[in-house]
Structure 1
Amino acid sequence: MNNKIEIIKTTSENADFGNLITALDASLWERYPELKTNYWGNNVIELNPNVVIVYFDNNAVACGCFKKYDKNTIELKRMFVSPEARGLGLAKKIILELELWAHELGFSCSILETLYKQKEAIGLYQKVGYTIIDNYEPYIGLENSICMQKQI
């Protein structure tokens, strides 16, 4: 069986990105129902020109994006791999693609926030070079947040 993986760069206006984000939000609220009101505002995606989508056999199965945090730093956002596509190394491919894209645009640092129950995600981020840092705005004081950083 020949499974084809394709990674595309696009924008947040891509319908497949919208569908993946809907699935991501549903999975987060299922895992953290108590946090929905605290975090909902941080998950609004304004028009974003820096989106990556992974297609597996022509189906959109994973995504991620970044936004500018400051003149040297990007923030990884909306990382998601559909349950049926997990274990294929797609999240790592997305992270590396986003970091390369940001580096080409002149950024030298990447930050991200994830939630404490996301053990697989935290492990993956550490595996690709991220270290845990003090929470940055808007996550300061939110104990459920784990913030991480990497030079790119």
Structure 2
Amino acid sequence: MITVEKSDPHSADSCHLIEKLSAELASITGDSGKSNFTIDSMDEGRSVWAVARDSRGNATGCGAIRPLTENIAELKRMYSDRSSSGIGHAVLTFLETSVKSMGYKEIWLETRLVNHKAVNFYQKNGYVQIKNYGPYVGREEAVCFAKLLPG
């Protein structure tokens, strides 16, 4: 059984998951992804840091949302250690529910084209490709997605 809850992004479990994600991203894409995310960005209002735990309480995944605009949240630092199936989906569902309850209308995200597992995961979960936004404009290695939240 997987549980997901809001967590402190500065906690030891969170920092460990962020480092595992950064190492995995660096091996897949050549970039750790740290340049477009800082833990301090979670201090902004309408941000959420979430951690998934298995039935023994071990931290197995994480993800974050932060504001892009009044109506659009950005999904960041999604990670699953793949120790059991469904971790990523559980984190994504938790964050989508959180976003909707905070009044956002859409979620946007960026991943790398070469990260096929992530691209497939987001498409399977209803995300559609959009034009690259913000720091990803003009970056051919990046692909951006969005999902409209049901009203």
TM-score of the superposed pair, with normalisation by structure 2: 0.88
> What do the CA deviations read for 1:95-125 (whole angstroms, capped 9, x no partner)?
1110110110110100000011111111111
Aligned pair count reads: 144
Percentage of pairs with the same residue: 30
State whether residues 11 and 47 of structure 1, in contact with CA within 8 Å, keep that contact through their aligned partners in structure 2: no
Q: Tell me if 1:20 matches 2:17.
A: yes
The counterpart of 1:54, out of the listed 52, 55, 68, is 52
TM-score of the superposed pair, with normalisation by structure 1: 0.87
- Structure 1 runs (4+) greater than 2 angstroms displaced: none
3-state SS, counterpart of residue 39 of structure 2: coil
Distance 1:67 1:59 in 2: 25
In structure 2, the CA distance between the partners of 1:142 and 1:128, relative to structure 1 (3 Å rule), is same
Query: What displacement does 1:7 show?
Result: 1.3
Alignment of 1:28-43 (within 5 A): 28-33=25-30, 35=31, 40-43=34-37
Distance 1:12 1:94 in 2: 15
The counterpart of 1:114, out of the listed 107, 111, 114, is 111
State whether residues 3 and 90 of structure 2, in contact with CA within 8 Å, keep that contact through their aligned partners in structure 1: no
CA RMSD between the two structures: 1.5
State whether residues 11 and 50 of structure 1, in contact with CA within 8 Å, keep that contact through their aligned partners in structure 2: no
The counterpart of 1:123, out of the listed 120, 124, 128, is 120
Distance 1:84 1:5 in 2: 11
State whether residues 51 and 65 of structure 1, in contact with CA within 8 Å, keep that contact through their aligned partners in structure 2: yes
Query: What displacement does 1:52 show?
Result: 1.1
Distance 1:43 1:28 in 2: 13
Unaligned ranges ≥5, structure 2:
none
Distance 1:13 1:59 in 2: 16
Query: What displacement does 1:16 show?
Result: 1.0
Query: What displacement does 1:13 show?
Result: 2.1
